[in-house]
Structure 1
């Protein structure tokens, strides 16, 4: 048995809590400056990120090595990609973090780090996203969803549709989105993907640092957090909608995964 180094998993770098917003937009300086302009290697199990370096100096650190970036440049980081950055002080740019729950099945096929030219269309979309994210008025949520979809497809290379040759973990993420609330077992997911339960568990552990069922529970709790924050649905209804056998089971799982009761979590967002 090898002694693998466990990399930290973050919702956003330095934050382990699930953020309930539609997506997140921030300037590079907002977080990098707090950490001495160095973001240590980590991964985001539930986020796709688009990082735009407008000016300054930056080095991208990946699992297989490091690469100096030449601004203006855009980096697309798929969920679970191991990455880190070293920035020169004062580097200017923007980071857009998009939850996988916002992505359609084809967008989830963005399964490798990509470096793109910072075209006028891409930088324009990022600027509009940044402005819309900061503005609470009007139809903010649907606007952010539409802009995020446009940004992903403008940045990402075309990739083949999911099939027998597609990455197993990527296809598992699609299945997870479709069946997480239906009580599927490891065997159900494995059969739907044409893999054995052991091989699927091995791939998910390697990519997400958790078991298949751990990933299913994490996804269900992410959905629960969003509903608790953004809807007035009764907690009982949320529990049953997300596939829990009863509200007590839901409350126990939520406390274990999030660290508080569903009711206490909702109170954080009550004005």
Structure 2
């Protein structure tokens, strides 16, 4: 087992410093970063950044947390903030990687739909573009963003953001269940959901009750649950449990901490309660999960 320190947090892969432009996005060809590294991007994470990887040609093996997936031509990957991910590409893979800073995502939410954009980017997704029309639309949208990104024409930032908003609308249609047709919430509810997501990120290991989350937001627990169900189709407690479970999986896979230590770090004073929680969520005990996941990583 490795330690969490062995899963580096990068701005761009291999770089701890911000990229050398004032933009809140970065767009580059897969080959630009992968070819010098023998087409292998080792597992890493990004703080405050979301990534979209589009594979136009070739194949790739995608690692997300403890799982591996195959990606073929026309495949697109959505990588949420701080999720462990890595890639192994064919030697002639072609495509683009788009990296978005969180402030830009928040701004785009005002144009697109904060609720739907949060739903799109908050989970790791493999999206297959099944028709030539879908493939062409996404390919063209990314090509336009890349061309504008590497150029220095007047109005570059405004045009890139408009192109990016159009791309995200297409991805919401293609990648979300029902094509992104779930009911969009009113502005206040969207704000509450976004703040709830940020509170979860700060306090998921602190043992906060739903009542405490709701109090911090200035609403009732019933109102909070209603917002979550309308926005992403899940209860507030499910969202909190998902974040706890994700961190539990990371600690089990990437550290040598005992099951009891992992549980304690996540706010479970009773190791048995942590084991029951984990098994109820995954169907496996923490030890069985660690044993399987530890043999499946590359």
Tell whether the structures are fold-level matches, with TM greater than 0.5: yes
Of residues 153, 169, 176 in structure 2, which corresponds to 1:153?
A: 169
Q: 2:123 maps to which residue?
A: 112
CA distance in 2, matches of 1:40, 1:168: 32
Q: TM-score, normalised by structure 2?
A: 0.54
CA distance in 2, matches of 1:70, 1:55: 8
Question: Is residue 172–residue 189 contact of structure 1 (8 Å, CA) maintained in 2?
Answer: no
* Count of residues paired in the alignment: 190
Question: Is residue 37–residue 87 contact of structure 1 (8 Å, CA) maintained in 2?
Answer: yes
Q: 2:145 maps to which residue?
A: 129
Q: Radius of gyration: which is bigger?
A: 2
- Please, which runs of 5 or more residues in structure 2 have no aligned partner? 203-211, 222-239, 251-298
Q: Deviations over 1:115-142 (max 9, x none)?
A: 2233221111101101111110110011
Is the alpha carbon distance of 1:192 and 1:124 closer, same or farther for their aligned partners in structure 2, counting shifts above 3 Å?
A: same
* Aligned-residue RMSD, C-alpha: 3.8
Question: Is residue 23–residue 144 contact of structure 1 (8 Å, CA) maintained in 2?
Answer: no
CA distance in 1, matches of 2:56, 2:217: 43
Q: Deviations over 1:12-51 (max 9, x none)?
A: 1111112332311110000011212111111112112111
The answer to which structure has the higher helix fraction is 2
- Please, which runs of 5 or more residues in structure 1 have no aligned partner? 176-186, 210-271
Is the alpha carbon distance of 1:68 and 1:188 closer, same or farther for their aligned partners in structure 2, counting shifts above 3 Å?
A: closer
CA distance in 2, matches of 1:76, 1:54: 15
Is the alpha carbon distance of 1:153 and 1:81 closer, same or farther for their aligned partners in structure 2, counting shifts above 3 Å?
A: farther
CA distance in 2, matches of 1:57, 1:108: 28
Deviation at 1:172, TM superposition (A): 3.8
Q: 1:139 maps to which residue?
A: 155
Moved more, 141-150 or 109-118: 109-118
Is the alpha carbon distance of 1:3 and 1:149 closer, same or farther for their aligned partners in structure 2, counting shifts above 3 Å?
A: same
- Is 1:29 aligned to residue 21 of structure 2? no
CA distance in 2, matches of 1:18, 1:193: 36
Moved over 3 A (4+): 158-163, 165-175, 187-190
Deviation at 1:69, TM superposition (A): 1.0
